[in-house]
Amino acid sequence: MKFLIPELDLTLQPALQAKLDGLAKPPGALGRMEALSLQLGLIQQRLDPCVGRAVLLVFAGDHGLTQEGVSAYPASVTLAMVRSFLAGRASANAFASATDTEIRVIDAGVAADLPAHPNLLAAKIAPGTRNAAREPAMTPAQCAAAVQLGAEIAGAQVALGFELIVLGEMGIGNTASAALLMHRLAPMPLALCVGLGTGHDAAGLARKQAAIARAAARSDAKAPMAVLAEFGGFEIAMMTGALLGAAQARTPVLVDGFIATAAALVAVRLHPAALPYCIFAHCSAEAGHQRMLSAIGAEPLLNLGLRLGEGTGALLCVPLVRAAARMLTDIASLDDVLRGAL
């Protein structure tokens, strides 16, 4: 499996920086938005970047690890939430509507048959992963197929004219899977990687920690694809591929919370050249997310205490990305202002 991800060409950086500094504002007055504007210009290799159409890709999959009680919710909630996305009634739908972002739900490995729907992409590798506390979650072939499919899905969305790919997910038990990926690929002690997930009490957290420890003890995998196969989920593997596919197509990717960042961690460990194509949306309230962001060298745009997933935090950053692009196209230069040439 090969990805031809171009190193970010910095040739245009002086011209972009000069244009930003010459706008009708003090240099640096728009803070991190200026860095984001520069990043978009470098990704698109133009002085007038454009971020119009955005699409949220919600990758959904079930986890065999839920058999160990790692989630406060039953595995059936994955299917229920997929139905909610397709009905337009999930949190992600509300935020997508508010930010003019389209949604596609990808069945990466939901443990149920899903009827056809205009916004559903059928890409099921298997009906859920195996129990990673007892055996590898995926075979190497399944893992590679999921990554490849994710890349193809993102590439197809770019070909349809989407200029921003937003990553989201749904999969009961996937904070446990993400914690294991973080543990091996950050790398970091397991105790710093495991959090409450979606609503555990103290007893539930202890049960989750014990199950994750059993999974970690079962395998000493350290290579990114091996770690992903041992501990990942089909939805995480497809997000990994989607990020790589978007980077290959020179398209910015908005990365959501803890689970999406775990996919980004795998992606950049596989292909470090993919990192400059990533925009990290927010720091979630999930324990370990800030540490994982730091391990990647990422600085998120927002910190709103979110811990839902679905792409909700990333969706809230879509207007910021569009605004950053508009800085280079819509703001007058200081020279024009002073000359009255508006």
- SS3 sequence, the chain? CCCCCCCCCCCCHHHHHHHHHCECCCCCCCCHHHHHHHHHHHHHCCCCCCCCCEEEEEEEECCHHHHHCCCCCCCHHHHHHHHHHHHCCCHHHHHHHHCCCEEEEEEEECCCCCCCCCCEEECCCCCCCCCCCCCCCCCHHHHHHHHHHHHHHHHHHHHCCCCEEEEEEECCCHHHHHHHHHHHHCCCCHHHCCCCCCCCCHHHHHHHHHHHHHHHHHCCCCCHHHHHHHHCCHHHHHHHHHHHHHHHCCCCEEECCHHHHHHHHHHHHHCHHHHHHEEECECCCCCCHHHHHHHHCCCCCECCCCCCCCCHHHHHHHHHHHHHHHHHHHCCEHHHHHHCCC
With vertex at residue 289, the alpha carbon angle to CA 286 and CA 293, rounded to the nearest 5 degrees, is 165
Lowest mean pLDDT segment, chosen from 32-36, 54-58, 175-179, 191-195: 191-195
Residue 255 lies in a domain: yes
On the question of a cis peptide bond just before residue 187, with omega within 30 degrees of 0, the verdict is yes
Q: Which two tokens stand for residue 207?
A: 């049960």
Residue pLDDT, tens place only, 104-128: 999 999 999 999 999 999 999 999 9
Q: Does residue 290 contact residue 322 with C-beta atoms inside 8 Å?
A: no
Say whether both 199 and 315 belong to one domain: yes
The verdict on residue 2 lying in a domain is no
CATH number of the domain where residue 26 is located: 1.10.1610
Statement: residue 310 has pLDDT above 70: yes
45 or 208, higher pLDDT: 45
If asked whether residues 93 and 235 sit together in one domain, one would say yes
Residue 202 pLDDT > 90: no
Asked whether 102 and 121 are in contact (CB, 8 A), the reply is: no
Please report how the helices 202-218 and 224-231 are oriented relative to each other, as an axis angle in degrees rounded to 10: 130
Q: Are residues 19 and 101 in the same domain?
A: no
Structure token digits, residue 232: 């990942």
Average pLDDT over the chain, rounded to whole? Answer: 95
Spatial distance between the Cα atoms of 114 and 93, rounded to a whole number of angstroms: 19
Instruction: Check 34, 163, 286, 310 and give the catalytic one.
Output: 310
Task: Specify the pTM.
Answer: 0.96
Q: In this structure, is residue 248 part of a structural domain?
A: yes
Answer yes or no: do 204 and 124 share one domain. yes
The number of distinct structural domains making up the chain is 2
Residues 314 and 332 placed together within one structural domain of the fold: no
Question: Which CATH number characterizes residue 218's domain?
Answer: 3.40.50.10210
310 is catalytic: yes
Question: Is residue 109 included in any domain, yes or no?
Answer: yes
Do residue 176 and residue 299 come from a single domain? Answer: yes
Considering the domain architecture, whether residues 174 and 273 belong to the same structural domain is answered as yes
Classify residue 114: in a domain, yes or no: yes
Do 118 and 28 share a domain, yes or no? Answer: no
Interval 19-28 mean pLDDT:
96
CA–CA dist 197, 97 (Å, integer) = 26
List pLDDT tens digits, range 216-255: 999 999 999 999 999 999 999 999 999 999 999 999 999 9
Q: What is the pLDDT of residue 199?
A: 61
Quickly state the pLDDT bin for 204 (edges 50, 70, 90): confident
Rounded (5°) CA angle 245-231-192: 100
Question: What is residue 270's predicted lDDT score, i.e. its pLDDT?
Answer: 98
Host domain of residue 238? 54-323
Residue 1 lies in a domain: no
Query: Are residues 132 and 64 in contact, defined by beta-carbon separation less than 8 angstroms?
Result: yes
